[in-house]
Structure 1
Amino acid sequence: MNIKSLLLGSAAALIAVSGARAADAVVVAEPEPAEYVKICDVYGAGYFYIPGTETCLRIGGYVRYDIGIGDVGSFDGAENVDHEDGDVNDTYRKNARFTLKTWTGQETELGTLKTYTETRFNFGNENNYATPDNPTTPTDEHISNPAHQRGVSLNFAWIQLGGLRVGKDESAFDTFIGYAGNVIQDTLVPYGDFDTNVVQYYFDAGNGFSAVVSLEEGSGEIGTIDSYVPHVVGGLKWTQGWGAITGVIAYDSNYEEVAGKVRLDITPIQNLALFVMVGYGTDDNLTDDGYAIPAGGRGFYKQWDENWAIWGGGTYTINEKTSFNAQVSYDEGENLGVAANIAYDVVPGLTVTAEVDYVHAGNFPDSNWTNADDEDSLGGILRFQRSF
């Protein structure tokens, strides 16, 4: 047999084998069984088990669009430069926000292990008048207040095991007592700062009595602790069918001052909820200009003017879709804030809120929390929010 015959025979054999294989039926592998998401109803609606774990996860958040007119936000309005003649004109203050929230829960031998995070993304112009583009230009000319990416903020990121919570939270001086009503502008007279890292313990007796102790770092130049001594917040609450009584007290370790608030919530009829909250704080060191960082009378907790302040208001549920919310606030420095809105649920998950706000700045302009240009200012906000 010569080489030519050998090559021809080998080729024929390969063709035959290939043809035989081509004639065989194609075998398709059976799909692996799908592992569907399992609902977790232990911690409420929206939770599901993370596949392969005993941890329940919930993902939510909202998309919000605010349109402000007049003096809103910090009550120094929104202005921008006219592109044609360079004059400064009043304009809308707008802001779009996407907020992402996550919750987790898992039962352990030491109690429920929880986490919560909230991250906010914003695009819009500022609440206030912007600074001139050119530092040499007078402040009343060529002011630019463009819409822009306003950054990302981490508002919550905490871990809680049983009653012990650590991480980024808002101060228990505000969260435990329930903030100050259901209006958008609830800080026309401020009731305390918010952002802080915490180590805190919650106690719930299960009979309506609860308490909190919180060690806090504070934030900002005035509020961040300047030594190993933390700020300290303590609170007590008594909740019953008629409402609740809550009290909180805070020690500011930077200025060695104390502030406290007491709040009463009542529900006189089924569709009406009312509250009144009184605050009092010492301020000798807060008003002392001899400090390296003067506080100007307002610390991390006692942010109202002078010693005392009062907030009151409520929510009236008109029907299953509509509610009316109002708040009035006043402090010893004669600052007065009034806010009222109508909130309407267009469809489940979509709420439109129209609010009108008024502020009278006491001791104007020396102690002007809102940075208002006038002693009396008026503004409004139209908010669209899709929550999920």
Structure 2
Amino acid sequence: MNIRMVLLASAAAFAASTPVLAADAIVAAEPEPVEYVRVCDAYGTGYFYIPGTETCLKIEGYIRFQVNVGDRPGNSVTRPNDSDWDAVTRGQVQFTAKSDTEYGPLTGVIVMQFNADNATDQDAILDSAYLDVAGFRAGLFYSWWDDGLSGETDDIGSIVTLHNSLRYQYESGTFYAGISVDELEDGFYQSGEGPNNVGVAFGVGGTAGAFSYQVTGGWDFDNEDGAIRAMGTVEIGPGTLGLAAVYSSGPNSYYSAAEWAVAAEYAIKATDKLKITPGVQYYGDYGVDGDDFGDGDAWKVGLTVDYQIVDNFYAKASVQYLDPDDGDDSTSGYFRLQRSF
């Protein structure tokens, strides 16, 4: 037997005596624990838990494109425009945080608004920022005087409705009542006065079946004048009838358009997507002459059309005609596209 045969025989004997072993199993690494975003349905749709907390957050807003037309179109973004039309774009985002406390839900709201008249004329503003708990609200927010009828014809609110304020409001299912202390630094001022003003306002409102109502008042301490307003709506036929009246003892930060005014509109729901709202308003002692109201009256008529293109996307068109006794008549309006999210 040669050496070759010896080696082969030895290898065969070793293979026969060695047990067959299975291949080593592949063990996957354990995944890192991940905390996925959880839906929070305690406060309505759109809320989710901030990871690692029990605070619920909602993010919403809109994108708006608007073309203003008229004798002096201007816009809410920049100064009045010399041409008879002006296009503007706005983006707004709102963050609402809520969490449960022993006093009820603690709410915090931040609203940021970004406006652009063109590529170089732009601004970013804090539109609202406030905290709310147990009926108390403190921060920068809109007053009850910002409310109005659903169309665009009525002119029954303050020229500036966003204030740093402290407010308490009681609410039940169909009724609310509240009082606020407002810093009025950018409203109406009499001759010789400066932006260091304070006011007290109240709001009462609610619903009763197809009828809704609101009564709002305010006293401007610096100007020593106040205003009161009442509004109501009721569903009649294919639409909703809205009526409003306002009286002001003198020009002040809560109302300074006229000594008194009445407004009416009828919002017709033509289809599920189309709403047509004609409106009219009459002013007594219209405008401001020095520190008092003017002597002439004025009237205004207009039409607003709302159309929902698809969910969260709608178009609005409005045209208004104003005819004062002591001034030139004017026509103005706008066309708007808005996508909400």
TM-score range, shorter chain: 0.7 to 0.9
Equivalence for 1:301: 254
Conserved in 2, the CA contact under 8 Å of 1:217 and 1:225?
A: no
TM-align CA RMSD:
2.5
| Letter paired with 1:256 | E
Paired position in structure 1 for 2:221: 253
Q: Shift of residue 304 of structure 1?
A: 1.6
Larger Rg: 2
Question: Which of 170, 177, 185 is the matching residue for 1:219?
Answer: 185
Whole-Å separation in 2 of the counterparts to 1:172 and 1:309: 18
Partner of 1:378: 331
Q: Provide the C-alpha distance between the structure 2 equivalents of 1:193 and 1:342, rounded to a whole number of angstroms.
A: 25
3-state SS in 1 of match to 2:121 = strand
Q: CA deviation at 1:281?
A: 1.2
SS of the residue 1:220 aligns to = coil
Counterpart CA distance in 2 for 1:62 and 1:387 is 4
Shift of 1:350: 1.0
290, 299, 302: which one aligns with 1:336: 299
Q: Is the 8 A contact 2:135 2:170 kept in 1?
A: yes
Shift, 1:152, TM fit: 1.6
Report if the CA contact (8 A) 1:327-1:339 is conserved: yes
Residues 73-103 of structure 1: CA deviation (Å, up to 9, x unaligned): 4599743xxxxxxxxxx45301010011111
| Displacement after TM superposition at 1:330 (Å) | 2.1
Q: State the secondary structure of the residue aligned to 1:173.
A: helix
Asked if the contact 1:328/1:337 (under 8 Å) is kept, the reply is yes
Task: Determine the C-alpha separation between the residues in 2 that align with 1:65 and 1:166.
Answer: 32
What displacement does 1:50 show?
0.9
* Gapped regions of structure 2 (runs ≥ 5): 1-23, 287-296
- Going from structure 1 to structure 2, the CA distance change for 1:256 and 1:380 (only over 3 Å counts) comes to closer
TM-score, structure 1 normalization: 0.71
8 Å CA contact retained: 2:97, 2:108: yes
Measure, in 2, the Cα distance between the counterparts of 1:190 and 1:73.
20
Task: Report the 3-state secondary structure (helix = DSSP H, G, I; strand = E; otherwise coil) of the residue aligned with 1:244.
Answer: strand
Whether the 8 Å CA contact 2:148–2:157 is kept in 1: the answer is no
Identify the residue that residue 210 of structure 1 maps to in structure 2. 176
CA deviation string 1:241-300 (max 9, x = no partner): 12123211111011111210011221124x4122111111111xxxxxxxxxxxxxx321
The correspondence for 2:122, drawn from 142, 150, 155, is: 150
How far apart are 1:342 and its partner, in Å? 1.5
Q: How many residues align?
A: 300
| Rounded Cα–Cα distance in structure 2 between residues aligned with 1:264 and 1:376 | 29
Amino acid at match of 1:116: V
After superposition, where does 1:12-27 map in structure 2 within 5 Å? Answer: none
Higher strand share: 2
Structure 1 counterpart of 2:149: 181
Q: Which whole-Å CA distance do the structure 1 matches of 2:25 and 2:160 have between them?
A: 73
Shift of 1:192: 4.9
Aligned with residue 172 of structure 1, among 144, 154, 172: 144
**CA shift at 1:124, angstroms?**
0.9
- The alpha-carbon deviation at position 225 of structure 1 amounts to 6.1
Is contact 2:264-2:280 (8 Å) kept?
Answer: yes
Counterpart of 2:247 in structure 1 is: 280
Instruction: Please show how residues 116-155 of structure 1 align to structure 2 within 5 Å.
Output: 116-124=109-117, 148-155=120-127
1:221–1:193 CA distance, 2 compared to 1 (3 A)? closer
Residue in 2 aligned with 1:59? 59
Question: Percent same amino acid among aligned pairs?
Answer: 29
TM-score, normalised by the number of residues in structure 2: 0.80
Alignment-derived partner of residue 316 in structure 1: 268
The residue aligned with 2:31 is 31
Equivalent residues of 1:335, 1:360 under 8 A apart: yes
Give the 3 Å change call, closer, same or farther, for CA 68–209 of structure 1 in structure 2. closer
Hey, what does 2:9 align to over in structure 1?
none
Distance 1:203 1:253 in 2: 25
Aligned-partner residue type, residue 168 of structure 2: Y
Q: Which residue of 162, 166, 178 maps to 1:195?
A: 162
The offset of 1:190, in angstroms, is: 5.0
Aligned ranges 1:43-82 → 2 under 5 Å:
43-71=43-71, 73=73, 78-79=81-82
Residues 71, 77 of structure 1: 8 Å contact kept: no
The SS at the match of 2:145 is: helix
